[in-house]
Amino acid sequence: MPVVTLPRPHAGQYKVWSEAKRFNVLDCGRRFGKTEFGGILTAETCIKGGPVGWFAPGYKRMLEPWQKVRGYFAPITKRVSETEKRIELVTGGSVDFWSCEDSKDAGRSKAYKRIIVDESCLIRNLRELWQDSLRATLADYRGDAWFLSTPKGKDFFWELFQRGQDPDRKDWASWQMPTSTNPYILGSEIEDARGDMPPRSFAQEFLAQFLDAATGGLFDPEKWTYSDDTPKLGEWIRFWDLAVGIKGTNDYTVGALIGLGPDGTVWVRDVQRWRESWPISRERIKATTAEDRQYAESYGALYRPAVEKAGQMLGLIDDLNWGEKVYFYPESVKGDKRERASIWAPRQCAGKVCLMRAGWNSTFTDECHIFDGSGQDHDDQVDAVSGAFGLLYKSKGKVITNERTVAYGSEEWHIEQAKRNFSGRVRD
């Protein structure tokens, strides 16, 4: 008879398993053993013939659990699809592995007895993924859900954790398990890490504490403001952070359109974000620029498209500028990612960053909440706003009224650009 060998759960994992309800949120420190625990949970359902869905932030983060679970099930595996990342067992059970990097519709149309949402904090569209896709996958079997993650600020994972602490939410349970709960991690190693790490980082990564802006996060989830439209500001900048490569594997191309109000409020009118090959990206950038120009021209505002200057991107910038009336100015950025974001983050924490309501809002704010400047997670949207704000922050901000309107592209318009040291230029 085939034998399936699984890791023996340690005391902390057993406590979580024994207290589980239908919807479960495990907030744990690094090296707690959540991947192994997720494998145990998967086996519990699959061996009994049930279907499981495993959801990870991206393809790379999916590979380790895929390989581990595949190894666990090797003696009872009926079929494996490397392409679909699906394992079928002789018991009738199955497990599908999903990457949530490119879509908030992962798992749509599927039915599962159990879902594992691994590294939940790193899934950018976690709220939409849960509400629009994952919750419905549990309806057929009245299945259960497990959200497993080390925290990253007070985001949607934190909101789910709060449900588990609410006595009125009878179907929800949550636990906070520091790294020290894992008996296989030496206490001396944890103390050495405490001495090597900033207090904020240690509290988050080892103690599994949810940190807000006051304790180290750059952005405060409670301080975003929203508007159905933006005022007629005197100057707008669209800053592009370019990326090229094979579709589905390259980073994101992002362009953020922002302006600065007289009271110092940063107005984010639009954020464009996609992952495409360069020929498609080039046309989308040009189409977006045409829309921006039309908006600015409608009331005489200054407008400038800028692009982050990097050695490998100079050819792309030249390609953008070829035959165009608007010049895409290559802009050098100074400082690391965190330094650049730190210039405008204090305004956000003071409630002075306003987003125009649109579908991109949650993706943008989710990225801001997990942003730590390390570059380990996608930060293209934060970088794009940082780049645009770096060109605007010395401006006092201005609103154009009906009392005085300067025609876009007119001689007076160009004079104003020169007076404001507006370095973009327009081709003849």
For the chain, give the percent of residues with pLDDT over 70: 84
Task: Please state the rounded mean pLDDT for residues 96-124.
Answer: 88
Q: Identify the CATH assignment for 225-419 out of 3.40.50.1100, 3.30.70.60, 3.30.420.240, 3.10.310.10.
A: 3.30.420.240
Angstrom CA distances, 84 to 39, 159, 176, 321, stand at 19, 32, 33, 41
Higher-scoring residue by pLDDT: 312, 309: 309
Higher-scoring residue by pLDDT: 320, 183: 183
Q: Average pLDDT, whole number, for the chain?
A: 85
CA-based angle 68:69:73, to the nearest 5?
120
* Residue-level pLDDT at 165: 95
Q: Is the pLDDT score of 40 beyond 90?
A: yes
For the chain, give the percent of residues with pLDDT over 90: 51
* Residue-level pLDDT at 246: 47
Q: For 133-188, what is each residue's pLDDT tens digit?
A: 999 999 999 999 999 999 988 889 999 999 999 999 999 999 999 999 999 999 99
Higher-scoring residue by pLDDT: 84, 332: 84
* Residue-level pLDDT at 107: 80
* Residue-level pLDDT at 419: 55
Mean pLDDT check: name the lowest of 78-87, 205-214, 316-325, 337-346: 316-325
> Is residue 381 within 8 Å of 245, Cβ to Cβ?
no
User: How are strands ordered across the β-sheet holding 77-81?
Assistant: 77-81, 86-89, 94-99, 51-56, 114-118, 144-149, 23-28, 172-177
The CATH class for the domain spanning 11-211 reads alpha beta
Residue extents of the structural domains in the chain: 11-211, 225-419
Task: Please state the rounded mean pLDDT for residues 290-297.
Answer: 92
The Cα–Cα gap between 129 and 107 comes to: 9
- Band of residue 416 on the pLDDT scale cut at 50, 70, 90: low
* Residue-level pLDDT at 197: 73
* Residue-level pLDDT at 41: 95
Q: For 362-374, what is each residue's pLDDT tens digit?
A: 889 888 887 877 6
* Residue-level pLDDT at 328: 77
CA-based angle 123:125:130, to the nearest 5?
95
* Residue-level pLDDT at 248: 45
* Residue-level pLDDT at 410: 58
